[in-house]
Structure 1
Amino acid sequence: MKLRRVLLMAATVMAASAAQADTLVDVARERLNDDVPIPMFKVDTSWPKLPDDLILGQVPGLSVDRNDNIWILTRPNSLDATETGLDSDPPIAVGCCKAPLHVMQFDQEGNLLRNWGGPDIAPGESTVTGKGPEAVETGNEQWPANVHGLFVDDAMTVWLGGNGNGDHVVLNFTMDGKFIRQIGRRQSTDGNGSLEFLGNPADIASNGESVLVADGYINKRIVEFDEGDLAFKQMWGAYGGAPDGGTRDEPFDQSQATSTGDGGANPESRSFGDIVHCVVRGPENTVYVCDRRNNRLQLFRETPSGIAFIKDIVIAPETGGTRTASDVAFSPDGTYVYVADMMNGRVWILLRETHQILGSFGRNGRYPGQFIWLHSVDVDSAGNVYTTEVNTGRRVQRFVFTGLAE
């Protein structure tokens, strides 16, 4: 009997592996250096397993937690009534679909574990009249009008921000969606020099000692706050200097993400461009900042005496449109850096020791393993890579690590 159970278990594992193999699809890839091993991936077309009645909108946030669960931040407001007919009263569709709430947690198999978000769980309340740039808000609601950026810290609390009209706030919640605290305040902004207010923050990184905010859609800076009381600690702009380059007039409109009004990317600019899109803590006390509109990362190191600039990492400098460096992640052992490239629809693979570009995977397109407005990237402890897309991309994808190509 024992042997039979063992054989049955082995058969079950083999069947599961075979089933997964059937859902793994090759992706476009490019290798630029045959002398250095490079990670290889296949996209899992079965992931995630959304409930039958849900549909994703834009996905502007992504974070893998300490337990290898995958969190995404969605924009229900990016879906229209023809996509969410079940949400109408009465429903105007049969079977599908409804919009999910903003924050979604999935396990490794892609099962939905949690789904929460919206104005009801944040302080304040407001009334909005009008639509789009002409909308007028009255009140003190703190939930962002257009969410942007997600980070789950080691204490399993969730941080998120927003880049919509008046969204000058970062909110912190428990993993079940209970409000804890906030940085900044909606409808209040005061430029790059403010010690208290933000300007449409794009991203957050918390390590238990301090919280870094990429304050980057209205302002152009990185701001650091104490983890305990959220008191201001320091701020910096390009090359670690004082934040400069001015601020954007409100409100930010998505069309500005492709505008050439800034004259195009300048990877040698002494100021951050007009979207400081990510802030990511890396190995060895490093901090990576996505200066997306200038097609570069800026690499810093946290030291006892403050932040120290290390180098520029330029990504496809000739690129226009939405530009390139939108997010950063690392292989589990810290050997490789993954850079999400929004305009070119690919994930670049860099050797972290030198930041030499080794190759890439993905391409622009709508099939599995392809990208439209690639926005965020993160990695689990097994080396699997996750990505999200905004605009008309509207999805999260899982790329399974299959080994190193020698």
Structure 2
Amino acid sequence: MLCISLPSAKSFMQLAGLCISSVVVSFTVSAADVERQASVENQASANRQELLSPSLVNVERYPEADVSHPVPQFSVDASWPKMPKTLIIGQVPGLSVDKNDNLWLLHRPNSLSKLDVGLTNNMGLCCEAAPHVLQFSPQGDLLNAWGGPEISPSINGENQWPATVHGLYVDDENTVWLGGNGDGDHVVLNFTEKGEFIRQFGIRGKTDGNLSKSTLGNPADIFHNTHTNKVFIADGYINKRVTAFNTEANEFDQLWGAYGTAPGGGTREGAFDVSQATANASATSTKAQNFGDIVHCVTQASDGRIYVCDRRNNRIQVFKADESGTVNFMQDVIVAGETGGLGTASDIAFSPDNKYMYVADMMNGRIWILLHENYQVLGSFGRPGRYPGQFTWLHSVVADSEGNLYTSEVSTGRRVQKFVLTGFESEQ
């Protein structure tokens, strides 16, 4: 067990410690990996020149002691994105980068107040709520916008669009996946990039526990592997599990809980509401045998490892499927394990060369930078706040092919930020 201690905290916004289980992983560096790294470094050098631009703002960063590895450095682009003059976004519970490096975001128009949308209510000169799903170019220009009940099917008279959207993924075929964590939102929907309905898994208003092969329970996140035709779902606001479906046959594939065992620990009684998002540190356990009651993310790295955010328990669980497709537990990655409140492990992204892993820490308002091969913590950046480079209810993080990061915030945060990769530094 490798333990990394941070300075003792005088408030819940500072961390009491971070421990990471060590593991030996064998890696082969290919010519393509070397070429990708060279490309990333060249782009970082070009980005460094852009620091002369007043829109790039330095961020608060926290290096780790005794780190000899180069650490990615970021500045936030305070001018990104370029929203149309009359549009405004609310809470942003989902981000994804497509194969062309366009940034997609999912937001909640219903999180905006009447005063926010004064133009709609004939109360002011601005604004109108943007559609739920927005696509931006790397430069921040709006390319595409759609979403809402009008594009979603109805089953037994009930429209399937979620009451409170949550989680977004754009796959390699540029189809868009989204879920929901509002009352009755037990569904994942799939659309074309233009907003045409393709299919769904689950059904609004119906849930049947952790072992169900057909229903969901407030799904939080989605990852679709187009090579294996599997869609993984973090089924985590009512249920406490990951479930997978085959997208070629559109049928159930498998499910699992913590440590790759059958999911347990019961389900949330009644509908989720935001008051249930927080907990005391005593209510969390980095060694819990079941997932906590917010299984918040699922993603898969290019080497096949599957990552699940057990936000309530301040940990990421790492899995990998064997040749038969059976998912096996590899290890825990503990993220600021003594944190209470909102919990830490909210979302995960990887650098384009797969060398670095980034973890969005909701409670502490930080992005943790880890060496992907062994999960060594190299540093972190950000802090709670509302200015550029700070976070309020940090929710999602994604990376583009140039190594830049995008983050989103919910609750009173209600924004997306772009962090430009400006170089690599060694802390020694």
Normalised TM-score (structure 1): 0.90
The alpha carbon displacement at 1:31 in A equals 0.8
> What is the distance in 2 between the residues matched to 1:102 and 1:243?
32
1:241 counterpart letter in structure 2: T
Aligned to 2:416: 396
CA deviation map 1:35-69 (0-9, x unaligned)? 11100000001100001111110000000001100
Does the residue aligned with 1:244 lie in a helix, a strand or coil?
Answer: coil
Aligned to 2:150: 120
1:184 counterpart letter in structure 2: G
The alpha carbon displacement at 1:240 in A equals 0.2
Aligned to 2:97: 64
Task: Give the counterpart of 1:273 among 292, 307, 321.
Answer: 292
Does structure 1 retain, via aligned residues, the 8 Å contact 2:50–2:56? Answer: no
1:156 counterpart letter in structure 2: N
The alpha carbon displacement at 1:263 in A equals 4.4
Q: How does 1:2-401 map to 2 (within 5 A)?
A: 21-32=53-64, 33-88=66-121, 91-94=122-125, 96-124=126-154, 139-208=157-226, 209-260=229-280, 263-305=282-324, 306-401=326-421
2:239 counterpart letter in structure 1: N
CA deviation map 1:355-379 (0-9, x unaligned)? 0111101110000000000000000
CA deviation map 1:198-225 (0-9, x unaligned)? 0000000001111000000000000010
> What is the distance in 1 between the residues matched to 2:296 and 2:87?
28
Alpha-carbon RMSD across the aligned residues, in angstroms, is 1.4
> What is the distance in 2 between the residues matched to 1:20 and 1:390?
31
Does structure 1 retain, via aligned residues, the 8 Å contact 2:296–2:311? Answer: yes
Higher relative contact order (CA 8 A, sep 6+): 2
Does structure 2 retain, via aligned residues, the 8 Å contact 1:341–1:348? Answer: yes
CA deviation map 1:369-402 (0-9, x unaligned)? 0000000000000000000000000000000001
1:276 counterpart letter in structure 2: V
> What is the distance in 2 between the residues matched to 1:254 and 1:240?
28
The alpha carbon displacement at 1:259 in A equals 3.5
Does structure 2 retain, via aligned residues, the 8 Å contact 1:119–1:125? Answer: no
Equivalenced residue count is 375
Does structure 1 retain, via aligned residues, the 8 Å contact 2:279–2:340? Answer: no
The unaligned stretches of length 5 or more in structure 1 are 1-13, 127-138
The alpha carbon displacement at 1:162 in A equals 0.1
Does structure 2 retain, via aligned residues, the 8 Å contact 1:283–1:334? Answer: yes
> What is the distance in 1 between the residues matched to 2:370 and 2:76?
20
User: Once structures 1 and 2 are overlaid, which stretch shifts more, 145-154 or 223-232?
Assistant: 223-232
> What is the distance in 1 between the residues matched to 2:50 and 2:254?
52
Aligned to 1:4: none
Does structure 2 retain, via aligned residues, the 8 Å contact 1:37–1:405? Answer: yes
The unaligned stretches of length 5 or more in structure 2 are 1-45
Does the residue aligned with 1:293 lie in a helix, a strand or coil?
Answer: helix
CA deviation map 1:277-309 (0-9, x unaligned)? 000111311000000000000000122231011
Does the residue aligned with 2:330 lie in a helix, a strand or coil?
Answer: strand
> What is the distance in 2 between the residues matched to 1:108 and 1:274?
35
The alpha carbon displacement at 1:76 in A equals 0.2
CA deviation map 1:129-152 (0-9, x unaligned)? xxxxxxxxxx41100000000000
CA deviation map 1:302-352 (0-9, x unaligned)? 222310110000000110110100000001101100000000000000001
1:194 counterpart letter in structure 2: S
2:380 counterpart letter in structure 1: S
The alpha carbon displacement at 1:19 in A equals 8.9
The alpha carbon displacement at 1:34 in A equals 3.0
CA deviation map 1:243-278 (0-9, x unaligned)? 101000121011100134x94210000100000000
Residues 122 and 20 (structure 1), Cα distance of their counterparts in 2 relative to 1, 3 Å cut: farther
> What is the distance in 2 between the residues matched to 1:259 and 1:404?
36
Does the residue aligned with 1:165 lie in a helix, a strand or coil?
Answer: coil
